[in-house]
Amino acid sequence: MQLPHRLSRFVLFDRVGQGGMAELFLARFQSELGADRRLVVKLILPMYAERPEFSEMLVTEAKLAATLTHANVVQVLELGREEDRLFIVMDYVEGFDLAALLKRCSKEKVPLPPEFALHIVTELLGGLDYAHRKKDDQGRPLGIVHRDVSPSNVLLSFDGEVKLCDFGIARANDWATEKGEEPSEAIKGKAGYMSPEHARGEPIDGRADVFAAGIILWELLAGRKLYRSDAGDLIAQARAANVPELPSRGLPDESRLQAIVKKALSPERDERYATAGEMQRDLRAWAAEAGLVANPIKLGEWLTEHFGAELLEQRRAREQAAKALDRIPLKARVLMTPEPPRITYKDEEPESLAPMDLSPPSNVATPAPPAKRPPWAMLVMVAAAVGLVAWLLSR
């Protein structure tokens, strides 16, 4: 697909990732009064969108997701179909998913402070608890279960927000398996965050999401993956649910923290936290007593300081280039230079995560890496190309 591309009322200008079921694009929407808004469009792959049974299931799930309005949940704004493609429009969270953040931390040797790890998980649990308790207009529980709580679905903004996404598409992973189809590599990778009952194909409830949140907490504290691909089939490891003891990190009252993690990761669901809210309360209380409390402002400043400048500069450059192209007649775009390289933030999680920063939160912050030169050359090239096309059209 050539970008920018108009889809319904939206202009897709940057392809930022692809999963097992869909492509992900950044898009612009302009209201009748001229107000610009950036959104995310999840474009379902043709092999799935063309199948009526899948489409019906996805639309039903996405409609439920659209009822969720919470600070820790990405809002689903619209469902549509155009050009035989099914798409979902969601709020744009400018930043990283947790998987991409961990990869960048590991690559650049920047430790993730423990107070931020705890803050991310407590906020994630808040979104899950809200969704699990959601009721319809008649007061009946909707029975929403995310089914795919994993680092790639936890979004972190440069304002310090923590939001869980993909409530509307998560059940598609199970749909492919139920139909006896060979799941894609992207779907297989999600097994690393499955509860044992989910991996066995049994009916699940909100406690499966609690187990997945427990895995994320274990990994952030341990600094490595719980289930490793080099140790055998991930689904088999998830079924067995052999969870090692959380390594000691010298944190205050660590036995209490280990007990929280152990309860969340109990192989027997009846021995787990009954709700995400219960786990959130215990984790938040321990963090407060241990002096490891963070807030969105601190998290946002840390993300921006260490990782934000280059990503924001490059994304702004691509958006400006897309706006310039959008003003040129389609027949003239063949004279333009090829679109610039894109940054994908839906990266695979590394097997070994970045070491945790165990210094007290009051200590001096880790120095930011040297500022990198912004990609001004790309903007100059696009501006020159726009001027050339305008001159050619005027002749």
Residue ranges and CATH numbers for the domains of the chain are: 95-296 (1.10.510.10)
Single out the residue of 291, 262, 267, 294 nearest to residue 279, CA to CA.
262
- Between 130-144, 167-181, 297-311, the lowest mean confidence (pLDDT) is in 167-181
What's the confidence (pLDDT) of residue 253?
94
Check: CB of residue 358 under 8 Å from CB of residue 291.
no
pLDDT digits (tens, 9 = 90+) for 72-84: 999 999 988 887 7
Active site residues: 148
Single out the residue of 152, 161, 100 nearest to residue 127, CA to CA.
161
pLDDT digits (tens, 9 = 90+) for 258-306: 999 999 999 999 999 999 999 999 999 999 999 999 999 999 999 999 8
Element counts in the chain: helices (H) and strands (E): 14, 9
pLDDT digits (tens, 9 = 90+) for 177-197: 555 554 444 455 578 999 999
Strand partners, 29: 37
How far is Cα 295 from Cα 80, in angstroms, rounded to an integer?
36
How far is Cα 167 from Cα 88, in angstroms, rounded to an integer?
11
Q: pLDDT band for position 342 (50/70/90)?
A: very low
How far is Cα 170 from Cα 319, in angstroms, rounded to an integer?
29
pLDDT average, residue stretch 333-338: 35
What's the confidence (pLDDT) of residue 36?
82
Q: Which residues contact 2 (CB under 8 A, 6 or more apart)?
A: 333
Check: CB of residue 120 under 8 Å from CB of residue 297.
no
Residue tagged 């709020």 (tokens)? 91
Q: pLDDT band for position 126 (50/70/90)?
A: very high
pLDDT average, residue stretch 187-210: 88
Q: pLDDT band for position 335 (50/70/90)?
A: very low
Number of residues that this document lists for the chain: 395
How far is Cα 222 from Cα 355, in angstroms, rounded to an integer?
8
